[in-house]
Chains A and B, each alone.
Chain A
């Protein structure tokens, strides 16, 4: 019997050496062993992914699975290879920098509601009172090629589809320097994934732009975690209050400099009805918060991206009446043409102020 087993084993080995494969059962065990190795070595990343998931059953299940695995892996020292590689790639340094900035913002944020980030600025400079329609007249008109008008275009993945075009359009003037910075999958609901106030504070401090264009919201229709750690259900009263507070924080942070304006771009109409309704609800919040601030202008996109019946359409007539596709097949993002239309609209909005308009006239 033993002899037969040995012979069988030898024959299997030969087959394997000759590239004829292995028994399915052993392949299953080997595959599962490989997956187990991958899960343990990768457990910190899997746990981080689970943490970033939208609140709900999927997230709870994922956390329940990955937490103990990560805990065991890290106590056995199995997470260090990946951590080491990420450190070598410089990823952990970025995280560290963000954490430091976050702490800095939190120190400022411990004071009262919306004036937290602006307080230090206000101490140095009394903000000018600027009536709504006059807002951009307050901008300094002394830009030239050496001291260009700084435009910063930022937000979620939507920016990928118009940001660079707007930059190109704006930079047709030598007195304008523009930057586009999309952060995919980001929003105001999940600062644990990407912290916009922190990043914006960094941009305002380092680059001091004259105008900022922001579009956010596409990823925000999800439960959010309040400061006390409690999860707030999407669109309930507490959620709306918290989300408005976050919008206000960002708007105040950007306009903390009295010479800076903010164009807050609303979400365009979406193909999927439920998603469209959710985005319209968010748009209402942006509009209300913008209306409460002098140097924030809400840019509504419904008129630009709806058909004659006021509905979403992928194809819309251009100025010559020719139908062009303005949206991508996902029913969410903008196509090349859509990006051009939006960029032209935003540039028009920027140029409404006489001083700014001169940048492209001179």
Chain B
């Protein structure tokens, strides 16, 4: 079920009513939210509900075992159950997301055609998100930083529909207290929620879709047929498109959760205003980068030891972060570019460089990496790069409107948080009925300016 659809609107009105009506009855409320989330996920494909249920059951069971072993001081048991849970999660990911990639690469390496059977399984939506949440739960239990959750609480946590298919990746430590504590039904953060939902829809339906259909898709389909300037702006356009698409989804998810009485962590903080790659990763997909930091980079050794150890840890983290996005060499290269750039940045006194130059360098490294992220193959990415350097094609698509949209979208990143908050608080000061009507009119404006038909969110495929 896609957020910007009539079906979701109808679904959400029903869930909103049930949520607040059943909130005084904890067990009923949990059953309602869990059932709604399963319905939301099953709307796309019922068969994959089994996978979600497996992830819930196996991780909850393993979590309980980890906790009881830890309390008994049985460290071997803790290790064993943690390993079993993580192996189960990684097997899900491995079979559905990575098997074919490795099978094809192995077959090509052996030079034996279809030497290794290819499964061609459909990738379950959101599998990368809920398996990462599940892994964080069992690892946090092992570390003793959280208490085990009751089954229905854990089921609600892992399947909660606003963040189920494309994040943000919410930790159990953030969700468990919110599930346990009944929010005040007299204080629903409607203004903030309406504002976030409208902002998210605008980013997705207008900015992302418009850039995709009028600039990015054409440039990446045939870079050599476009002028160098077209291709360059096509890459800038993709940087904006993917930001608008993904942060738009997150805005809607946070807004929807707010209406149900939950507050998710922020996932984006004006990433294209970053003055360094480190800064970028503190602002882009924050819940994933903090997950990778806490559950991969630091366990690998983090900043400890010699510089070479730190560089190795950075590179491994970024390579696996790239692979998390998809099972192609392009994502590996995307991760490698970020890893290498982070290493270079840490090994040089970059703070001496003028901030404008630092911003330009950071933005262009990020854009350079996006080329591999967006292109279908490494050779397609090479075509884009060579077209930027020197294309013989004619300018086909670039016009003043597109240039303005790209530049304005980058410029908006420098609008301070307080300015953005002021815009949101305008709605907050209005009576709730006016908020609702403004919300409705906003929906009409967005639908009017958006193209026909809504493409799925880019991050659904991860």
Instruction: Tell me the complex Cα distance, A31–B431, Å.
Output: 12
* 6 A–B contacts, CB within 8 A, in A order: A27-B190, A29-B436, A41-B440, A82-B444, A168-B222, A317-B113
Given contacts A28-B17, A32-B436, A82-B448, contact A313 B186 (CB under 8 A): no
Check if A171 is an interface residue, CB within 8 A of chain B: yes
> Which one of B16, B107, B432, B439 has the greatest number of beta carbons of chain A within 10 Å?
B432
Check if A226 is an interface residue, CB within 8 A of chain B: no
**B337-380, CB < 8 A from A:** 375-377, 379-380
**B428-462, CB < 8 A from A:** 428-429, 431-433, 435-441, 443-444, 447-449, 453, 461
Instruction: Please pick, from A29, A165, A271, the residue contacting B120 in the complex, using a CB distance under 8 A.
Output: A271
Q: A95-103, A140-148, A236-244, A321-329: which one contacts chain B?
A: A321-329
Chain A residues whose C-beta falls within 8 Å of the C-beta of B224 in the assembled complex: 168
Chain A residues whose C-beta falls within 8 Å of the C-beta of B184 in the assembled complex: 21
Instruction: Please pick, from A24, A31, A42, A314, the residue contacting B439 in the complex, using a CB distance under 8 A.
Output: A31
Contact with A along B58-100 (1 / 0, CB 8 A): 0000000000000000000000000000000000000000001
Instruction: Please pick, from B185, B222, B225, B440, the residue contacting A38 in the complex, using a CB distance under 8 A.
Output: B440
- Nearest A residue to B12, CB-CB: A31
Instruction: Tell me the complex Cα distance, A331–B444, Å.
Output: 34
Instruction: Please pick, from A25, A82, A335, the residue contacting B376 in the complex, using a CB distance under 8 A.
Output: A335
Instruction: Tell me the complex Cα distance, A305–B6, Å.
Output: 37
- Can you add 9 more A-B contacts, CB < 8 Å, to A21-B186, A41-B441? A29-B433, A30-B190, A33-B436, A34-B439, A35-B440, A163-B221, A164-B218, A314-B120, A336-B379
Chain B residues whose C-beta falls within 8 Å of the C-beta of A168 in the assembled complex: 222, 224-225
Check if A315 is an interface residue, CB within 8 A of chain B: yes
Chain B residues with CB under 8 Å of chain A are 6, 9, 13, 16-17, 20, 100, 104, 107-108, 111, 113-114, 118, 120, 122-123, 184-192, 194, 217-218, 221-222, 224-225, 259, 375-377, 379-380, 425, 428-429, 431-433, 435-441, 443-444, 447-449, 453, 461
Instruction: Please pick, from B104, B377, B433, B437, the residue contacting A315 in the complex, using a CB distance under 8 A.
Output: B104
Instruction: Tell me the complex Cα distance, A24–B189, Å.
Output: 9
Chain A residues whose C-beta falls within 8 Å of the C-beta of B379 in the assembled complex: 336
Q: A11-19, A117-125, A247-255, A276-284: which one contacts chain B?
A: A11-19
Chain A residues with CB under 8 Å of chain B are 12, 15-17, 19-38, 41-42, 45-46, 81-82, 85-86, 89, 160-161, 163-165, 167-168, 171, 184-185, 271, 307, 313-315, 317, 321-323, 325, 329, 331, 335-337, 339
Instruction: Please pick, from B185, B217, B428, B436, the residue contacting A30 in the complex, using a CB distance under 8 A.
Output: B436
- Nearest B residue to A309, CB-CB: B114
Given contacts A27-B188, A30-B433, A336-B376, contact A42 B447 (CB under 8 A): yes
> Which one of B16, B111, B186 has the greatest number of beta carbons of chain A within 10 Å?
B186
Q: Is the CB of B225 within 8 A of A37?
A: no
Instruction: Tell me the complex Cα distance, A81–B444, Å.
Output: 10
Instruction: Tell me the complex Cα distance, A174–B121, Å.
Output: 44
Given contacts A21-B188, A167-B222, contact A323 B113 (CB under 8 A): yes
Instruction: Tell me the complex Cα distance, A325–B380, Å.
Output: 13
Given contacts A23-B188, A85-B448, A336-B380, contact A38 B433 (CB under 8 A): no
Given contacts A17-B429, A32-B436, A165-B221, contact A329 B461 (CB under 8 A): yes
Chain A residues whose C-beta falls within 8 Å of the C-beta of B218 in the assembled complex: 164
Chain B residues whose C-beta falls within 8 Å of the C-beta of A35 in the assembled complex: 9, 13, 440, 443
Instruction: Please pick, from B435, B439, B444, the residue contacting A41 in the complex, using a CB distance under 8 A.
Output: B444
Q: Is the CB of B436 within 8 A of A23?
A: no
Chain A residues whose C-beta falls within 8 Å of the C-beta of B107 in the assembled complex: 323
Least CB distance from A240 to B in Å reads: 28
Q: Is the CB of A32 within 8 A of B448?
A: no
Instruction: Tell me the complex Cα distance, A307–B180, Å.
Output: 54
Chain A residues whose C-beta falls within 8 Å of the C-beta of B453 in the assembled complex: 184-185
Least CB distance from A7 to B in Å reads: 14
Q: Is the CB of B225 within 8 A of A164?
A: yes
Least CB distance from A63 to B in Å reads: 14
Chain B residues whose C-beta falls within 8 Å of the C-beta of A322 in the assembled complex: 108
Instruction: Tell me the complex Cα distance, A24–B436, Å.
Output: 13
Chain B residues whose C-beta falls within 8 Å of the C-beta of A161 in the assembled complex: 221
Q: Is the CB of B16 within 8 A of A325?
A: no
Chain A residues whose C-beta falls within 8 Å of the C-beta of B191 in the assembled complex: 16, 19, 21-22
Q: Is the CB of A26 within 8 A of B437?
A: no
Chain B residues whose C-beta falls within 8 Å of the C-beta of A24 in the assembled complex: 16, 20, 185-186, 188
Least CB distance from A18 to B in Å reads: 9
- Nearest A residue to B434, CB-CB: A30
Q: Is the CB of B186 within 8 A of A23?
A: yes
Instruction: Please pick, from B122, B187, B225, B443, the residue contacting A21 in the complex, using a CB distance under 8 A.
Output: B187
Chain A residues whose C-beta falls within 8 Å of the C-beta of B225 in the assembled complex: 164, 167-168, 171
Chain B residues whose C-beta falls within 8 Å of the C-beta of A323 in the assembled complex: 104, 107-108, 113-114
Instruction: Please pick, from B111, B189, B375, B444, the residue contacting A321 in the complex, using a CB distance under 8 A.
Output: B111
> Which one of B107, B187, B429 has the greatest number of beta carbons of chain A within 10 Å?
B187
Instruction: Tell me the complex Cα distance, A308–B401, Å.
Output: 49
Instruction: Please pick, from A15, A31, A82, A160, the residue contacting B221 in the complex, using a CB distance under 8 A.
Output: A160
Q: Is the CB of B13 within 8 A of A32?
A: yes
Instruction: Please pick, from A34, A89, A339, the residue contacting B440 in the complex, using a CB distance under 8 A.
Output: A34
Q: Is the CB of A34 within 8 A of B104?
A: no
Instruction: Tell me the complex Cα distance, A42–B441, Å.
Output: 9
Q: Is the CB of A27 within 8 A of B432?
A: yes
Instruction: Please pick, from B17, B100, B188, B444, the residue contacting A42 in the complex, using a CB distance under 8 A.
Output: B444
Instruction: Tell me the complex Cα distance, A263–B13, Å.
Output: 50
- Nearest A residue to B380, CB-CB: A336
Q: Is the CB of B104 within 8 A of A325?
A: yes
- Nearest B residue to A327, CB-CB: B120
Instruction: Tell me the complex Cα distance, A50–B322, Å.
Output: 41
Q: Is the CB of A38 within 8 A of B443?
A: yes
Q: Is the CB of A313 within 8 A of B120?
A: yes
Chain B residues whose C-beta falls within 8 Å of the C-beta of A34 in the assembled complex: 194, 435-441, 443
